[in-house]
Structure 1
Amino acid sequence: MAELWKSLPSWVRNIVVPIVVLILAWNLIWFVIGAVTSLIAFLIKALVLVAVAAGVVILVKKAAKS
């Protein structure tokens, strides 16, 4: 691997490789942010669904008593 790195022209080592690494890091960061955001959104939707279902159960029980 060291021979391959040393065989690259200096402009590739100093310009192209850091740009490619930055692009890959940027995409990885946004992938993680997107995954976390979608997980949080799913959890919020699940909590809202549970809250609505609990409200419906409470209302049905109140209606059944009267």
Structure 2
Amino acid sequence: MAELWKSLPSWVRNIVIPVLVLVLAWNVIAFVFGVVGALLSIVIKLLVVVGIAAAVVILVKKAAKS
């Protein structure tokens, strides 16, 4: 591996490789934030549905008493 690294031109080692690493890191970070955002979105939607269902149950029980 060291021989391969040393065989690369200096402009590849100093410019191309760091840019590729930054792009890859950016994509990994964007993926992680996307997954976390999607999970949070699902949790919020589930909480809204559960809240609406609880309100409907409470209203139906109150309507049944009267």
Bin for the TM-score computed over the shorter chain: over 0.9
Structure 2-normalised TM-score? 0.94
Q: Distance in 1 between matches of 2:53 and 2:30?
A: 34
Report deviation, 1:34.
Answer: 1.1
Matches within 5 A, 1:1-66: 1-66=1-66
Unpaired segments of 5 or more residues in structure 2? Answer: none
Show structure 1 runs of 5+ residues with no match: none
Offset of residue 12 of structure 1: 0.5
Structure 1: which 4+ aligned runs deviate by more than 6 Å?
none
User: What fraction of aligned residue pairs are identical, expressed as a percent?
Assistant: 71
Q: How far off is 1:18 after superposition?
A: 0.3
TM-score, scaled to structure 1: 0.94
What RMSD, in angstroms, separates the aligned Cα atoms of the two structures? 0.7
**For 2:49 and 2:40, how far apart are their aligned partners in 1?**
14
What secondary structure sits across from 1:5 in the alignment?
Answer: helix
